[in-house]
Amino acid sequence: MPIVQASAWRFHRGVYSVQATPCGSQKFSREGGDFLAILDALKEFRVRSERTIGQNWWLAVGAMGLLVLLAAVWRNGSPAASRQVVVYTALDEEFSRPVFELFTRRTGIEVLGKFDTESTKTVGLTQAILAERARPRCDLFWNNEIVNTLRLEQAALLSAFHPSVAEAYPEQYRSTKGMWYGFAARARVLLVNTDLVAEEDWPTSIVDLTQPKWKDRVGIAKPLAGTTASHAACLFAVWGELRAREFFESLKANVRIMAGNKQVAREVARGGLAFGLTDTDDAIIEVEAGWPVKIIYPDQGDQQLGTLFIPNTLAIIRGAPHPREAEALVEFLLSAEVERMLAEGPSAQIPLSTEVQESPRVGSPQTVRAMQVDFQSAASSWNQAASYLRERFATAD
């Protein structure tokens, strides 16, 4: 049995418990509380050490010395074990970093973000997580779409977590097993340059991208990563392989292929394209900057597909080095406060939480006819779709 033991004292930034073991080693852990409690702990250790100093004085002195060191470190503002969480983030850094900074200010937990490029981010980050599966480096995957998150779930690389706010999100946007949660959605839309296209000629469907009269005057992002790849996987799941292949063959013959959705939106705004397929976060920036553009929510007819809404998704990686910090960040990101923050920010993300009643600046599933898609089926279609798309679009520019 230990000769000297202190169970746990709460102080402002953590709970330190210190224990002297029979072999003379000390161990401690940190979890949350109040600096003055360390001083109380010192007093208690002094009393306990007096009882044992006769036969095990070196244990008591060692334990007291450790507490003195902890107190000194804390007073200097440098906790003995800094808390951090590693996040692989596909949402643009300009949108996600302010959220991370707010979380750090609130909790003291440092967020180490790994960001990727506009053209490869979701696939690139997913491949990194797959490659690191034997020794994970990532704690939390903040994906800006859903299909690649589901691929990781199918590979058994996610860890279940049930945040307190889970029930505020519709069932279709969260895992029934607690493996992932969707929030802050975007819609796949057509952005039209109103100086170049008369209102009577405005497109109403994604199929209008294949009309020969618009050859080389319309554009899409390369469908190998991001929401464009997710959109493609959804079309393969809903239409079936044959019709989906026919659509993409027609696209390849008719459209200009851009590096990403942001480039499509900018090219439409500046008159390089008549219209293009992009996301609401990229489209709204051009609208609010005053360019002559109009957002069209495609396929709203009774017999049409509807507009695809793609949520951001959060998933804790199985074997994550900092699981508790990751859980704390998930709770924060799913809060109504963060949903509002992302909705009010430049990217105009679409809140999915039922606790957010404010109307977003863009259309939502409550105001726009949404495409009905089984995202699990879309994820299962990914390998088939990706193989075909790489073959047909890898060298497209």
Tally Cβ neighbours within 10 Å of residue 8: 15
**Interatomic CA distance for residues 177 and 118, integer angstroms:** 31
Number of domains in the chain: 2
Q: Is residue 342 part of a domain?
A: yes
Q: What average pLDDT does this structure show over 38-48?
A: 46
Percent of the chain with pLDDT strictly greater than 70? 78
Q: What average pLDDT does this structure show over 52-81?
A: 47
Range of the domain at 59: 5-75
Assess whether 60 and 88 both reside in one domain.
no
Mean pLDDT check: name the lowest of 3-17, 77-91, 186-200. 3-17
Task: Tell me the whole-structure pTM to 2 decimals.
Answer: 0.76
Assess whether 13 and 161 both reside in one domain.
no
Mean pLDDT check: name the lowest of 3-12, 62-71, 103-112, 148-157. 3-12
Q: Is the pLDDT of residue 42 over 90?
A: no
Q: Is residue 214 part of a domain?
A: no
Q: Is the pLDDT of residue 335 over 90?
A: yes
Q: Is the pLDDT of residue 54 over 50?
A: no
Higher pLDDT, 396 or 256: 256
Residue 201, pLDDT score: 97
Q: What does the pLDDT look like over 90-128, one tens digit per residue?
A: 988 888 999 999 999 999 999 999 987 655 667 889 999
The last residue of one of the domains, among 55, 75, 95, is 75
Q: What average pLDDT does this structure show over 235-242?
A: 95
Mean pLDDT check: name the lowest of 82-91, 109-118, 187-196, 265-274. 109-118
Mean pLDDT check: name the lowest of 9-13, 237-241, 390-394. 9-13
Q: What average pLDDT does this structure show over 353-366?
A: 88
Q: Is residue 261 part of a domain?
A: no
Q: Is residue 116 part of a domain?
A: yes
Question: Is the separation of the CB atoms in 29 and 65 below 8 Å?
Answer: no
Q: Is residue 224 part of a domain?
A: no
Assess whether 66 and 90 both reside in one domain.
no
Q: What average pLDDT does this structure show over 257-285?
A: 96
Assess whether 51 and 19 both reside in one domain.
yes
Residue 387, pLDDT score: 92
SS (H, E, C) the chain: CCCCEEEEEEECCEEEEEEECCCCCEEEECCCCCHHHHHHHHHHHHHHHHHHHHHHHHHHHHHHHHHHHHHHHHHCCCCCCCCEEEEEECCCHHHHHHHHHHHHHHHCCEEEEEECCCCCHHHHHHHHHHHCCCCCCCCEEEECCCHHHHHHHHCCCEECCCCCCHHHCCHHHECCCCCCEEEEEEEEEEEEECCCCCHHHCCCCHHHHHCHHHCCCEEEECCCCHHHHHHHHHHHHHHCHHHHHHHHHHHHHHCEEECCHHHHHHHHHCCCCCEEEEEHHHHHHHHHCCCCEEEECCCCCCCCCCECEEEEEEEEECCCCCHHHHHHHHHHHCCHHHHHHHHHCCCCCECCCCCCCCCCCCCCCCCCCECCCCHHHHHHCHHHHHHHHHHHHCCCC
Q: Is the pLDDT of residue 30 over 60?
A: no
Q: Is the pLDDT of residue 134 over 70?
A: yes
**Interatomic CA distance for residues 177 and 210, integer angstroms:** 40
List the CATH number of the domain containing 96. 3.40.190.10
Assess whether 60 and 89 both reside in one domain.
no
> What average pLDDT is seen over the chain?
83
Assess whether 91 and 67 both reside in one domain.
no
Q: Is the pLDDT of residue 143 over 60?
A: yes
Q: Is residue 91 part of a domain?
A: yes
Where residue 88 falls among pLDDT bands split at 50, 70, 90? very high
Residue 383, pLDDT score: 87
Q: What does the pLDDT look like over 338-357, one tens digit per residue?
A: 999 999 998 899 999 999 98
Assess whether 154 and 173 both reside in one domain.
yes
Residue at 112: amino acid letter: L
Q: What average pLDDT does this structure show over 372-380?
A: 91
**Interatomic CA distance for residues 176 and 127, integer angstroms:** 25
Mean pLDDT check: name the lowest of 58-67, 184-193, 285-294. 58-67
In 3D space, the residue among 117, 168, 202, 133 whose CA is nearest the CA of residue 351 turns out to be 168
Assess whether 98 and 173 both reside in one domain.
yes
Question: Is the separation of the CB atoms in 129 and 136 below 8 Å?
Answer: yes
Assess whether 59 and 128 both reside in one domain.
no
Q: Is the pLDDT of residue 27 over 60?
A: no
Q: Is residue 326 part of a domain?
A: yes
Q: Is the pLDDT of residue 275 over 50?
A: yes
Assess whether 169 and 88 both reside in one domain.
yes
Q: Is residue 64 part of a domain?
A: yes
In 3D space, the residue among 210, 293, 309 whose CA is nearest the CA of residue 253 turns out to be 210
Q: What average pLDDT does this structure show over 305-319?
A: 97
Assess whether 157 and 94 both reside in one domain.
yes
β-pairing, 309-317 with 140-143? antiparallel
Where residue 390 falls among pLDDT bands split at 50, 70, 90? very high
Assess whether 103 and 174 both reside in one domain.
yes
**Interatomic CA distance for residues 372 and 382, integer angstroms:** 17
352 is written with which tokens? 């999915």
Question: Is the separation of the CB atoms in 273 and 265 below 8 Å?
Answer: no
